[in-house]
């Protein structure tokens, strides 16, 4: 039986909502760190032509696209992914804003704590593709002081990621600065405590110190948009995976076996779709299940194809 949960997990980006809030090209300072030209703007990150494929960030300036991916862990698959992204960007954005695309500049920013070991070259046969690979920790000497002196507290947190082994006193002082800023801001910047904790986790701060920081900033899920979104999305994803396991058992008991193509299609189902499939696995016919889990052909009208039984 195909493992639906494993397929779904392989398709979910490790770059989740937490990093999206903390490490984003919305931050002008981060654009400067990465030496991106000023005066550009962000493009849509999805490629609707390719099954909801999503890049981390696409930045457009003067008919050039700057593609940046963020990694918390070393991945041997990164060179192939960047090569794949390059082709898709070239095809999808070949006439961005009605003007021909000139060049695509790609880079991966590693924000993990371990040593950077990834390769920046994809090579297969006579095909070679290269991209820039940068370790955020290497920017400490040039940028740590600049970020620390910034009036923007999100820059302070970003600065903590440019260094490693900052020590307990630094993290406690940063927590005090965050608390002081929140107290003096109206309305209070309620996402800052969550972002601080995320930075501490990324830098593998001792769990005991993490707990002390949490007490200092008094994180409350209800008051933090970031943590609330993490909590909601995480809970929903957990429930979805649990239901997929039930669906697997139900289909197996019915003697219904799905193809690899159908499994890939199911792995991208929404929670409501999986709930409907769970109902069919219990009370539906083989024909109903087959119709529900078979991907539409390119000629089908996606808007008219029924996804739920009435």
Give the fold, CATH level 3, of 12-139.
Trna Endonuclease; Chain: A, domain 1 (3.40.1350)
Burial of residue 218 (number of CB atoms within 10 Å: 0-12, 13-18, 19+): exposed
Fill in the DSSP letter of residue 136: G
Q: Which two tokens stand for residue 31?
A: 């654009």
CA 7 to chain centroid, in Å, comes to: 17
Q: Is the dihedral of CA 99, 26, 186, 184 positive or negative?
A: negative
Domain boundaries, the chain: 12-139, 153-225, 234-293
For each of the chain's 310 residues, which pLDDT tens digit applies?
456 655 554 444 433 455 566 677 777 888 899 999 988 888 876 665 555 556 788 899 999 999 999 888 899 999 999 999 999 899 888 887 788 999 999 999 999 889 999 999 999 999 999 999 999 999 999 999 999 999 999 999 999 999 888 999 999 999 999 999 988 887 766 778 888 888 888 888 998 998 899 888 876 656 666 666 665 665 566 667 767 877 887 888 788 888 888 888 888 888 788 888 888 888 889 999 999 999 887 555 444 334 443 3
The model's pTM is 0.67
Contact in structure between 139 and 157 (CB atoms under 8 Å): no
Token pair 């910034």 is found at 150
């Amino acid at each position: 039986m195909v493992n639906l949960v494993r397929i779904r997990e392989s398709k979910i980006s490790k770059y989740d909502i937490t990093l999206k809030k903390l490490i984003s090209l919305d931050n002008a300072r981060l654009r400067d760190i990465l030496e991106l030209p000023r005066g550009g703007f962000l493009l849509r990150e999805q490629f609707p032509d390719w099954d909801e494929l999503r890049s981390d960030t696409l930045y457009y300036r003067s008919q050039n696209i700057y593609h940046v991916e963020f990694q918390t862990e070393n991945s041997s698959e990164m060179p192939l992914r960047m090569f794949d992204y390059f082709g898709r960007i070239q095809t999808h954005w070949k006439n961005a804003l009605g003007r021909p695309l000139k060049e695509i500049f790609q880079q991966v920013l590693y924000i993990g704590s371990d040593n950077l070991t990834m390769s920046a070259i994809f090579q297969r046969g006579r095909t070679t593709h290269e991209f820039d690979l940068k370790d955020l920790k290497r920017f400490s000497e040039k940028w740590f002081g600049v970020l620390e002196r910034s009036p923007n507290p999100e820059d302070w947190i970003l600065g903590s990621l440019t260094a490693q082994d900052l020590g307990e006193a630094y993290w406690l002082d940063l927590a005090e600065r965050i608390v002081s800023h929140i107290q003096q801001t109206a309305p209070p910047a309620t996402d800052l405590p969550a972002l601080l904790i995320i930075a501490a986790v990324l830098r593998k701060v001792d769990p005991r110190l993490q707990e002390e920081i949490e007490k200092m900033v008094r994180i409350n899920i209800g008051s933090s948009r970031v943590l609330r979104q993490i909590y909601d999305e995480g809970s929903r994803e957990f429930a979805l995976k649990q239901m997929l396991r039930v669906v697997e058992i139900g289909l197996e008991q019915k003697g219904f076996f799905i193809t690899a193509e159908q499994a890939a299609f199911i792995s991208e189902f929404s929670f409501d779709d999986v709930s409907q499939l769970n109902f069919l696995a219990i009370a539906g016919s083989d024909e109903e299940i087959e119709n529900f889990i078979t991907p539409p052909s390119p000629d089908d009208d996606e808007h008219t194809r029924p996804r739920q039984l009435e």
